[in-house]
Structure 1
Amino acid sequence: MPDALLALILSHLPGESLAAVVASCQACRQLLPHVADVAVGHLGIPLPAAQKSCEPIARRIEYARRMSARSRCSLAAGRSFSLCISSSGHLFSWGVDVDDDYGVPDDPDELGSPGGAVEQLHRCFVGHLGHGSLWGQAERLPRALVALPQVVEVASGRFHCLLLASDGRLYSWGTGSFGQLGHGDRRPQPRPRHVQGFDGHAVQVACGHDHSLVVSSDGEVFSFGRGNLGQLGQGQMGMRAVPARVCLPPPPSQSVSTQSSSTVSAERVVHVAGGLFHSLAVTDAGDLFSWGSGTNGRLGHGDTIMQLRPRRVAALQSPRIVHASAGCGHSLAVSDKGELFSWGQGHNGRLGHGNQETKMSPALVQGLLGHVIVRAFAGWEHSVALTREGVLYAFGAGDHGALAQAWEEPATPARVCALGDDGACDVAAGAEHTLVRTRAADVVAFEWGLGSQPGARRAGHKMLPLHVFKAV
């Protein structure tokens, strides 16, 4: 059989099967470099670098396949603004923050406001909308950002945003008060700007309140921005204005003497999430790591101790975790069996356990047993779970219509019926609003609708969704 044909056949084998064939066939083993090129060439993701000399190429191929096939975030919900990627890869933004407590970014003079504090009284900071102006009026309808490459993923924090281009380049814009844009300074960016300090190939992006997280094609995590409570995972508190690698500890069974945790991560990361003052990471082995502020037990370690570096969540070592989300003071995790776990601050019933108790360790959400959860989304004080069938369940604070449920706050998961027969394929949970993308590419918003953000309409004691636009 010609080598090219054999390499093509081998390139379609699952990672474990490929490893078994290579182990028993010398000819196949010699073809491995070519097999790797064929296997990942069409994925748009480079083959990750070997973590150590003896790491099988088959494992590296499997990681590239997994990251290429994962569900990407096409929606982002900030404090009171929204982002959406259309099916054609164009990015749209709308809204602005007009709340007196949050509507003015930190150090407005530093942000380039021509009138300083006086200017704030007449115009809003709109740099996070990405249309070229730092100060101006709200965008009440979705508006496309221009001069961008094809966008495949987007994330938003309080006043800053990240996007991932199809070629793996990282862009950021908005306020840079804490270095969360990664450009080496604290200046704002009114348009998306390439983060030159990150020279790898990004495969996932996430934003905390004022910090940023990026996963590279090698399965490593990079963080930058505000780190006053350890949310950067760099081993110290403080701001960092350029991307820096976050090192995960080796597996418990691995001797520290054989591999230093300060130089290389023992597992590849497949997903990251940022909250107010904490961060989460899921590895290809199904482990969950958390770091940052431990207030209210949001890290899941059974205490409230701050963690300056990633620490494995021991309570979730049995179920294999595939997805996680971080909110204001709570955390969510989804297992490969479709189970949802929640922990941290329980106020407003955001944990879904039928009460408002704080949980120091992950607890199974009993109200969703029998449903296969594929992803979960932690908003400021509410949570949303997405099932395999595209059905949404919501719980927690709903006083702004963020849950599309009754005005009261459900402490157990309640099905979101307002979508009708349209199944959901993506969700973004913001501070006080929720965005949903249906399988028909319709984007709808559930929110209070007061101010500049396109909002839900109140009918009696329920919030009706507003159709924002068709994201094709």
Structure 2
Amino acid sequence: MEEMKTGEEEVWSWGAGTEGQLGTGRTEDEHSPQLLHLPCLSSAAPLSMLACGGAHVVALTSGGRVLTWGRGTSGQLGHGETLNCLHPNSVSSLDRFFITFVSAGWNHSAFISDGGCLFTCGDGSFGQLGHGDYRSYCSPVKVSYFVNKHVDQIACGMRHSLVLLKDCPGNQVYGFGSRKRGQLGIFKDMMKSISIPQVTCGFHDVDVVSIYANGDHSAALSADGHLYTWGRSFSGTSDYMYPQCSPSSLRFTKVAPGWNHALVLTGDGEVFMLGGNHHGVLSDPQKVNPQKHLSDSCETVLEKISGLDGLKVVQIAAGAEHSAIVTENGVIKTWGWGEHGQLGLGNTSDQTYPQPVRFGHEVLTKHTAIKVYCGSGFTYAVRTLCAPPHA
């Protein structure tokens, strides 16, 4: 493997790839990390963030440009058609905007401009695009409801979306799309879905700083580190129809929800998990049995991830049924469902304990900034070589 130069960026992918979501140009699964050769990405400025959906990827560059690839059958790639795309392709209709934030759901995508405008495309059959209808769109369309507001963040779940407004205390979180499991946090009887954004209840006196969605789950963090969850229950009990604040005394900095579990990260670099009784997404094999640890209580239990003692974690990510973390020294560890190779360990086995991912013949460590992103059954890593201290 060629030696990286300071500031150079590498993009790796692995896992489910049958719809082109790995960016390899092939339509097959990859069980080990694959180094991608993406000239269109490297020429578009460094990556700012990736968003991985059901089987598609949205890439945002530091220059405000958006590229997408993977499954496009619902128009979620924003290319004006309903075709899969094996390589990153620019979303040309957004070229006149400077995009600052992106999100990818199961079959829909969302983009925020530096002016606070929200654009969505893809599957709208549950109202998750927020356009007041249940149509699908092949190109990004501005969400008119927020035209006089400044959208700060967007989080796309399987069939719903959440929006966080900037400088709007009391009414800062909105939801639209499916509300069957309570994931919108909206009190409206007899309505299974909502296509016009509605205020999520329960945040009138809360300063929300970040929102998250995946599957039928919704989550938020407040400025003082409190965790709020709503939608499908992590404990196997009744769904939460409005945001519930975790009683934990811990203060959290990041959340990564999956389909049946969620990771949460503390300011001290400790990782805890909510739920997770499927495919070994918990790191304790005694907790893998689906019939165990289903409490009759409505309280969601936080479990500390085993096998990470003495390690400080700086980033977390979750797919449908797998998890990934990045440690302080730049090592990626994965565990959970491995059927498609999404753990990057060279096989299709499930793992109950965090395992280090090897890139070529090395485990990434020294002076390397790593970011990891999970789609439903695939994983991406972006590696940037940093200058060593006192260089």
Confirm or deny a common fold (TM above 0.5). Answer: yes
Deviations along 1:48-84, one digit per CA (max 9) or x if unpaired, are xxxxxxxxxxxxxxxxxxxxxxxx9711112221111
Q: For 1:333, what is the secondary structure of its paired residue?
A: strand
State which drifts further: 185-194 or 425-434.
425-434
Residue equivalent to 1:184: 132
Q: Are residues 1:304 and 2:252 paired?
A: no
* Equivalent residue, structure 1, for 2:93: 147
Q: Is the 8 A contact 1:74 1:152 kept in 2?
A: no
Q: Look up the SS of the partner of 2:144 in the other structure.
A: coil
Alignment match, 1:429: 374
1:331 CA displacement: 1.3
Residues 74 and 108 in structure 2, CA contact (< 8 A), matched pair in contact too: no
Q: Does 1:233 align with 2:185?
A: yes
Judged with a 3 Å threshold, the aligned counterparts in structure 2 of structure 1 residues 426 and 151 are, in CA distance, closer, same or farther, namely farther
Is 1:282 the equivalent of 2:221?
Answer: yes
Bigger radius of gyration? 1
Query: For residues 194 and 389 of structure 1, what CA distance do their matches in structure 2 show?
Result: 41
State the partner residue of 2:314. 374
**Residue in 2 aligned with 1:161?**
109
Cα deviation for residue 424 of structure 1 reads 4.7
Work out whether residues 273 and 281 of structure 1, in 8 Å CA contact, stay in contact via their aligned partners in 2. yes
Match of 2:356 among 411, 415, 419: 415
CA distance in 2, matches of 1:306, 1:126: 28
Q: TM-score, normalised by structure 1?
A: 0.64
Decide which moves more: 164-173 or 359-368. Answer: 359-368
* Structure of greater relative contact order (alpha carbons < 8 Å, 6+ residues apart): 2
Q: 1:73 to 1:241 in 2, by over 3 A?
A: farther
Please say if 1:266 is aligned against 2:214.
no
**Structure 1's 271 and 357: CA in aligned 2 closer, same or farther, altered over 3 A?**
farther
**Higher strand fraction: Structure 1 or Structure 2?**
2
- Return the alpha-carbon distance in structure 2 between the equivalents of residues 413 and 246 of structure 1: 35
1:440 and 1:205 mapped to 2: Cα distance?
A: 29
- Matches of 1:200 and 1:377, distance apart in 2: 30
Residue type at the aligned position of 2:133 = D
1:439 positional shift: 2.0
Q: Following the alignment from structure 1 to structure 2, what is the Cα–Cα distance between the partners of residues 248 and 366?
A: 33
Output the CA distance in 1 between the equivalents of 2:370 and 2:289.
31
- Shift of residue 345 of structure 1? 2.7
Q: How does 1:240-259 map to 2 (within 5 A)?
A: 240-248=194-202
Q: Structure 1 runs of 4+ off > 3 angstroms?
A: 357-360, 419-425
SS across alignment from 1:383: strand
- What CA distance in whole angstroms lies between the structure 1 residues aligned with 2:326 and 2:117? 29
* Deviation (angstroms), 1:440: 5.2
Distance 1:400 1:424, change over 3 A: farther
Map residues 347-426 of structure 1 onto 2, 5 A cutoff.
347-355=278-286, 356-357=288-289, 361-407=301-347, 408-418=349-359, 420=362, 421=364, 423-426=368-371
Question: Quick check: 1:424–1:436 contact (8 Å CA) kept in 2?
Answer: no
Distance 1:369 1:354 in 2: 17
1:386–1:424 Cα contact (<8 Å) kept: no
Q: What corresponds to 1:334 in structure 2?
A: 265
1:126 shift after superposition: 4.5
Match of residue 67 from structure 1: none
**Matching residue of 1:43:** none
Write the distance in 1 (CA, Å) between the matches of 2:129 and 2:336: 31
Cα distance in 2 for partners of 1:92, 1:328 equals 26
What code does the residue aligned with 1:412 have? Answer: Y
| Distance in 2 of aligned mates of 1:388 and 1:246 | 35
Superposition deviation, residue 357 in structure 1: 4.1
**Would the alpha carbon gap of residues 417 and 424 (structure 1) be closer, same or farther in structure 2, given more than 3 Å must change?**
farther
Q: Distance in 2 between matches of 1:352 and 1:173?
A: 36
Structure 2-normalised TM-score? 0.76
Amino acid at match of 2:158: H
User: Unaligned regions of 5+ residues in structure 2, if any?
Assistant: 1-46, 294-299, 387-391
SS in 1 for 2:352: coil
- Structure 1 contact 345–357 (Cα < 8 Å) conserved: no
Q: Which amino acid counterpart does residue 62 of structure 2 have in structure 1?
A: S
**Counterpart position of 1:56:** none
Question: Does the 8 Å CA contact 2:131/2:195 hold for their aligned counterparts?
Answer: yes
Are the aligned partners of 1:73 and 1:154 in contact in 2 as well (CA < 8 Å)? Answer: no
Q: 1:175 aligns with which of 84, 108, 123?
A: 123
Query: 1:37-186 counterparts in 2 under 5 A?
Result: 74-96=49-71, 125-133=73-81, 135-136=82-83, 138-148=84-94, 149-186=97-134
Query: Does structure 2 retain, via aligned residues, the 8 Å contact 1:426–1:436?
Result: yes
- Note closer, same or farther for the CA distance 1:440–1:153 as it changes in structure 2 (3 Å cut): farther
Structure with higher helix content:
1
Native 8 Å contact 1:233 1:246 kept in 2: yes
1:180 CA displacement: 0.4
1:384-411 deviations in whole A, cap 9, x for unaligned? Answer: 1123343321110112111111422111
**2:35 matched residue in structure 1:** none
- Give the structure 2 partner of residue 112 of structure 1: none
RMSD: 2.1
Query: What residue identity is the alignment partner of 2:219?
Result: L
Q: Partners of 1:276 and 1:266 in 2: how far apart? A: 27
Does the Cα contact within 8 Å between 1:75 and 1:426 map onto a contact in 2?
A: no
Aligned partners of 1:176 and 1:361: how far apart in 2?
Answer: 34
Unaligned runs of 5+ residues in structure 1 are: 1-71, 98-124, 250-264, 298-302, 442-472
SS of equivalent to 1:367: coil
Q: Which amino acid aligns with 1:313?
A: S
Deviations 1:180-236 (A, max 9, x none): 001111111111111111232122211110100111112621111111111101124
